[in-house]
Amino acid sequence: MTERTADGLDPALLRDALAIRDWLMAEAAEVDDLQLLSGFAMRLNALGVPVDRMTIALEALHSEYSGIGRFWTIEEGATYRKFPHGPEHDRLYEGSPFAHVHRTREWLLLDLAQTPNDRFGIVPDLKAAGYRHYLVAPIFFIHGTQNGVTFATRSPDGFTERGLRLLRIVLPTLGFVLEVRAVNRRLDNVLRIYVGDEPHRAILSGAIRRGQVKRIRSAILFADMRQYTRLSATLTPEAAVDLLNAYFDCLVPPIEADGGEVLKYMGDGLLAIFRERDEGGRAAQAALTAAVQALGRIKAANQEGRFRPPIAAGVALHHGEAAYGNVGSGARLDFTVIGPDVNLASRIADLNRTLDEPILMSAPFVRSLERDCEPLGTHAVDGFEKPVPIYRPSRA
């Protein structure tokens, strides 16, 4: 006669379940998400649960995608895929097993031999791959997101009662581990999206006291759109947002491709820095290259008719210190970029319109650039007592 615990569990089953739970709470904390998925699936197989395919689908708080799916098969190992925002993804979700278990809040176990192909879109693919049983379990996080995990097996016996009991015991722990990881990832993503790479790392490392300042030697790029107020005056708010997004799609990729970091969006303005990592003037050259390429993308977009009417932009380049500081009151702070060098870059951007030049540079930027540039004389700028020497790239 099989021994049972006080609550009726097979001691061997409980021992196996606790072994996986211990692994999830200890060793699994040191591996990445794909290793976690692979390790979990392989441990189930080692304990007699015949998993040939496993997936984890998690909602994501991200500007570029709505969720991430992680996939493991016994033949190919682990991979992942990002789920895009949009109506097509929403349509596919509504007809999926995940939507079903989210509505019912119950596990779904399909004997694929008895399941019609039109039950869910994935059923024909599972049958074609030779799977026998398909199990879908919902995972709900405390903050309200709906997630899930699936298991498929080719075993002729499918998932046995013992295997299902084991999964019932260990899946809450898997869900807890996934939630802790997801919360950390959401925080990391949101901070990075809204304040940039370096500020988000500083905030997470504890730089949240008001008055803290960190100085970074860098090339500073400030860009803004010409005549934005006039252009947007006749647009709906939605159309104005579309205009700005298309405009920033021209500016940001070249900046990031050359190692720059976008720190602030200010209406139609953008502030970015290129860190000075050595004495070779590479930051200044990277900033100038990004500026030229960004303006080239705007010109190409105008020629293709993507902006109607056509738009133009001015870019100001300066070399100095970008100072991060916590500014605000009480519990509401802004981790912003401050200092005279940032102010000067902004004022030079004003001269782009006055001088009708697409790219203007300060004397410190030109010295760091170490190449010939054309002087445009000295010009008074707001907030600075002495006129400022201004340059443009050589047209030779």
**What pLDDT does 65 receive?**
82
- Cβ neighbours around 35 below 10 Å, total: 13
Predicted confidence (pLDDT) per residue in 127-170, tens digit? 999 999 999 999 999 888 899 999 999 999 999 999 999 999 99
Strands 332-338 and 261-266: unpaired
For the chain, residues classed under CATH 3.30.70.1230 are: 198-393
């050589």: which residue's tokens?
Answer: 394
**What pLDDT does 281 receive?**
64
């895929």: which residue's tokens?
Answer: 81
Q: How confident is the model at residue 212 (pLDDT cuts 50, 70, 90)?
A: confident
Predicted confidence (pLDDT) per residue in 282-292, tens digit? 899 999 999 99
CATH number of 198-393: 3.30.70.1230
Predicted confidence (pLDDT) per residue in 76-129, tens digit? 999 999 988 888 888 888 889 999 999 999 999 999 999 999 999 999 999 999
In the chain, the amino acid numbered 57 is A
**What pLDDT does 6 receive?**
42
Model confidence pTM above 0.85: no
For the chain, residues classed under CATH 3.30.450.40 are: 11-194
Domain 11-194 has CATH 3.30.450.40: yes
On average, the pLDDT of the chain sits at 88
